[in-house]
Structure 1
Amino acid sequence: MKAIVFDTIGSPRDVLYLDDIPVPRIGDNEVLVRMVSASINPGDFLFIENLYPEPKKPVFPRQVAGNHGAGIVEQVGAGVGLQPGTLVAFSYYNSWAEYAVVPVQWLIPLPADYPLERAAQMVNPITAWDLLDDTRVQPAQWLAVTAGYSSVSTMVMQFARRRGINVLSVVRRVHDGLDLKTHGAAAVLDLSKLEAGIRETVLDLTGGAGLNGVIDNVGGPVSGELIRCLALGGQMVINGGMSAERYELHNFDVLLSGLQIKANIYRYFFSPPAEADGPILRRIIDVFGQPDFHVPVGGLHRLPSFELAVANSLDRADLGKQIFTM
């Protein structure tokens, strides 16, 4: 089978290559998934660069890249209740390939007609839903989201709009190809056109209300300024670190406003979906699959075109999600 693999730690631009490897064999409680789609995510690059904690580490030689995707159940091992032909999504390992073996407990069954480009990236709406919950922002309040063009950020905006929450989308510069206000942003902060300080600009854009929550995917000095825009009891939820820069805070920036700063770790990073998660997963799957939920797709690629797909993911987040189709 065709697969995108790597043999050494490094930049995905340098270490990935396309290879023919054997179709993996299943064991008890495992499923052979014939992959139909797989998303490219920042976390996939962290895996390739060996930046994830244990146990999510590459195993050489020919470690298959990719951690998220969707496919059709092809074969099942002993102890598996899923029927062949079932469409499933998962966050596990080895998704940038024509086949993957996945323990059954990691699989999320989907409706047979679910859009494949959405099935490929269930990690993103689940993350967006949890991020929004973690902020504790209430209807009519304001939430700032950095990296506004990222897939997770646009999903946060749409979930927030459905809850009556105002979102301030923070971007390095506005792109003509994607109107963030059509994706749920109540206002957009274009950092390339600042005419005043961050705090003054935030107060202006929010009609003087300020922020009750921040979801930060970037880091750097802007993040420090956004923290200082939070109202009493506000929440800063850290979901990424695209910037290599740091920010500084004084204890009083946190203490005198009763702020909380916390990290978001994908709920299925260390452990598979629990039975109790069923109702919330079905709700997320339903909302994410609705036609009026906008999911920008920047490109559909076959595995041999992985170099372009990876480059677009790294350099052109404004294009939308890059997805492999098999």
Structure 2
Amino acid sequence: MASLAHRLSNLPIPIFASGLRFRDADADTGACESGRVQIAWPDRPLLETAMKAVVFDAIGSPQDVLYLGDLPMPRIGDGEVLLRMVSASINPGDFLFIQNLYPEPKKPHFPRQIAGNHGAGIVEAVGANVALKPGTLVAFSYYNSWAEYAAVPAAWLIPLPAGYPVERAGQMVNPITAWDLLADSRVQPGQWLAVTAGYSSVSTMVMQFAQRRGINVIALVRRSRDRLDLKGLGATAILDLSSLKVGIREAVMDMTDGAGLNGIIDNVGGPVSGELIRTLAMGGQMVINGGMSTERFELHNFDVLLSGLEIRANIYRYFFLPPVEADRPVLREIVDIFGQPDFHVPVGGIHPLAEFELAVTNSLDRADLGKQIFRM
């Protein structure tokens, strides 16, 4: 295959007239002495045809199959954007992707599938029919985010204001998920909502959104931790399962003055969820967002039927399909709230790609520390 320098040098328009330049390239032929062709746009860093990325070649445990590799720079076509990645988050869904647990089309393709589905980058170049300008900071949920560069269809991108905190930009999946979970729970101001895995990033964001709407929240935790003040983040009450002296139903009914719950956002599953759902008031909602427990929960049909309960699943809205134009106003609202300094975002660690093993291990084994972030 002809080199990138050779292919571009044979285009019918001059390279330099189009704003591209090569480092170490002959001005007449475009030939390069170095083995790595490097491209740059004026006033922006040089782009190389090789980049670092966290990749995998087989299905399996993330700790077993991931490695840091050198890959060619991604190429963009019509409607696509080349991003210089600035941050990417590590999320449970990334591990499900690595283990090939999602349905089509969310499947890995080998060899050298780049890991990561969520991140943020700066627009470096655009294909035809793209309105975004180079230099724009954007967030996305797509593929291939654990890399130095990514090619992403423009439709999947969420533009962010200049100066937006990049560690937050790379985890926009979490506030969008929290916003949708709260909406799906249908809990109204003054009513009661329970969230399991209370220290998780998504749960803490649900609490903060709920507090803004006047919704009472009970945060369920396996054990209380001093490092994070859940009541300060919006929890009305904390149900510590490690020190519980009565049944979950009795504890919840006491906390709600006998009213019971109007909604549950469940990230765990197992017996706790089975008990918790029996505290729902007539017409209550249970939204399932995760399954940290390896156990099942059990219900009798009458547990659901006689209380008019609804159990539904939440799948991140942009995991399979890009944002539509009608979503843009609410996305701007979420971006604005999430970027405010008083909105607490627990970050457990910031890592270069080379520290992917530590980042992945902390994400799997120490989720209580907060979100693990790659900073490119």
After TM superposition, is the score higher than 0.5?
yes
Aligned counterpart for 2:166 among listed residues 110, 113, 116: 116
Task: Say which of 209, 218, 223 aligns to 1:168.
Answer: 218
Deviation at 1:210, TM superposition (A): 1.5
Of all paired residues, the percent bearing the same amino acid is 81
Which letter maps to 2:370? G
Q: What is the match of residue 121 of structure 2?
A: 71
Return the match for 1:142 from 192, 199, 203. Answer: 192
**Is 1:298 equivalent to 2:348 in the alignment?**
yes
Q: Counterparts of 1:325 and 1:207 in 2: how far apart (Å)?
A: 46
RMSD: 0.7
Deviation at 1:206, TM superposition (A): 2.4
Whole-Å separation in 2 of the counterparts to 1:262 and 1:199: 21
Helix, strand or coil at the partner of 2:349: strand
Q: Deviation of residue 142 (structure 1)?
A: 0.6
**What is the match of residue 3 of structure 1?**
53
Q: CA deviation at 1:209?
A: 2.4
> Out of 264, 284, 290, which is 2:314 matched to?
264
Q: Superposed, which structure 2 residues align to 1:170-185 within 5 Å?
A: 170-185=220-235
Q: Quick one: distance in 1 between partners of 2:280 and 2:191?
A: 11
> Residue 207 of structure 1: CA displacement?
2.8
| Higher Cα radius of gyration | 2
For 2:257, give the aligned amino acid.
G
- What residue is the counterpart of 2:24 in the other structure? none
Among residues 234, 239, 247, which one is paired with 1:189 in the alignment?
239
Given the alignment of the two structures, is residue 52 of structure 1 paired with residue 106 of structure 2, yes or no? no
TM superposition score normalised by structure 1? 0.99
> 1:38 is aligned with what amino acid?
A
> Which residue in 2 is equivalent to 1:158?
208
AA in 1 matched with 2:364: L
SS at structure 2 position matched to 1:183: coil
CA deviations on 1:157-190 (whole Å, 9 max, x unpaired) are 0000000001100111111211111111111111
- Distance in 1, matches of 2:367 and 2:190, equals 29
How far apart are the structure 1 equivalents of 2:105 and 2:251?
43
- Are 1:81 and 2:131 matched, yes or no? yes
- Residue 252 of structure 1 corresponds to which residue in structure 2? 302
Bigger drift between 204-213 and 130-139 goes to 204-213
What is residue 178 of structure 2 aligned with on the other side? Answer: 128
Aligned to 1:105: 155
- Indicate if the aligned counterparts of 1:178 and 1:318 stay in contact, CA closer than 8 A: no
Q: Match for residue 218 of structure 1?
A: 268
Letter of the 1:143 partner, please give it.
L
- Once residues 255 and 224 of structure 2 are traced to their aligned partners in structure 1, the CA distance between those partners, rounded to angstroms, is 15
Aligned to 1:41: 91
1:96, 1:218 → 2: CA distance?
A: 26
Give the distance between the partners of 2:326 and 2:251, measured in 1 at CA.
Answer: 43
Deviation readout 1:232-283 (Å, 9 max, x if unpaired): 0100000111111001101110111110000111111221000111111011
**Corresponding residue of 1:287:** 337
What is the Cα deviation at residue 89 of structure 1?
A: 0.3
Deviation at 1:303, TM superposition (A): 0.4
Matches of 1:127 and 1:277, distance apart in 2: 14
Q: Which runs of 4+ in 1 moved over 6 A?
A: none
Partner-residue secondary structure (3-state), 1:268:
coil
Q: How far, CA to CA, are the matches of 1:175 and 1:313 in structure 2?
A: 17
Query: Residue 318 of structure 1: CA displacement?
Result: 1.3
Aligned residues, how many?
Answer: 326
Q: C-alpha displacement at 1:212, in angstroms? A: 0.4
Structure having greater relative contact order (Cα 8 Å, sep ≥ 6): 1
Task: Structure 2 unaligned segments of length 5 or more: list them.
Answer: 1-50
Correspondence 1:231 to 2:281: yes
Q: What's the TM-score, normalizing by structure 2?
A: 0.86
Separation in 1, partners of 2:230, 2:204: 8
1:31 partnered with 2:75 = no
Q: Is the 8 A contact 1:4 1:64 kept in 2?
A: yes
Structure 1: runs of 5+ lacking an equivalent: none
Q: What do residues 5-36 of structure 1 show as CA deviations (whole Å, max 9, x unaligned)?
A: 00000011111001111111111111000000
